[in-house]
Amino acid sequence: MDDLQMQLLLDLHRSNFRQGPGGDAETKRAMELAGLDRSRPLKIADVGCGTGASTILLAKELDAHITAVDFLPVFLDELHTRAIDHGVAERITTLNCSMDALPFAQGEFDVIWSEGAVYNMGFEAGVSAWRRFLKPGGKLIVSEITWLSATRPAELQSHWEAEYPEIDVASAKIGLLERHGYSPEGYFALPVHSGWRITIAPCRAVLMRFWSGMATATRPRLSSM
């Protein structure tokens, strides 16, 4: 991506409340389905936080300190301004960093949260690399693009296999989590209103939805890192 393309990307997304699919209702649903403990302080990493829609909601809903990670400083600046406006700035630390080079310690976090972002690194690479940062029994809450059925139009299949070869059905993603030492607890498909509409031919549009899942990390095993 050249400088012009990057600037266009920033101009397009900086003012958006969210940089990906989903909404506050879906974030709250994921919190409830994950059974996050509201009775004690939590340490959370929000990886690929963008301008902080989920970060701020987590800070408001939970007794938590959140490390908000993004590789674009301008997004983190926007997040900080919004956090001040919402009265939660003291609960959030921003970190300008690539998601594939996180400087965290092993077992540092109770929760790793990532909405609409892990595809930048690749789902398997992300869930594998991030697991070591979770405490035993820690939670991974992550959204990932998946197929919602076993069949789809050939044009759509070809497009997404070229754009994101890891795309698969939810059951395959769950199996991958298990192979990397997680105990999957639940998932849901984001509703139609929170997806992206993609036109693939004249007069035909397909709505893609993102899969949201949460899993508990088992005690670390070197063989599955």
64-70 and 134-145 beta bridge pairing: unpaired
Query: Which token pair is 97?
Result: 């960093």
pLDDT band at 188 (very low <50, low <70, confident <90, very high): confident
Interhelix angle 73-85/53-61, rounded to 10 degrees, is 40
Indicate the SS3 state at residue 103.
coil
Nearest to 209 by CA among 154, 158, 128, 152: 152
pLDDT of residue 190: 81
Indicate the SS3 state at residue 213.
strand
pLDDT of residue 98: 96
Angle formed at CA 130 by CA 215 and CA 222, multiple of 5 degrees:
90
Residue 43: count of CB within 10 angstroms of its CB: 14
Residue 9: count of CB within 10 angstroms of its CB: 13
Question: Which tens digit of pLDDT belongs to each residue from 102-156?
Answer: 999 999 999 999 998 999 999 999 999 999 999 998 999 999 988 888 888 899 8
Question: Which tens digit of pLDDT belongs to each residue from 43-70?
Answer: 999 999 999 999 999 999 999 999 999 9
Q: What is the CATH number of domain 3-224?
A: 3.40.50.150
Report CA-CA distances (Å) from 68 to 25, 96, 98.
Answer: 20, 8, 12
Report CA-CA distances (Å) from 38 to 31, 49, 63, 187, 214.
Answer: 10, 21, 6, 20, 17
Beta bridge partners of 43: 65
210-217 and 182-189 beta bridge pairing: antiparallel
| Cα distance between residue 101 and residue 146, in whole Å | 25
Indicate the SS3 state at residue 12.
helix
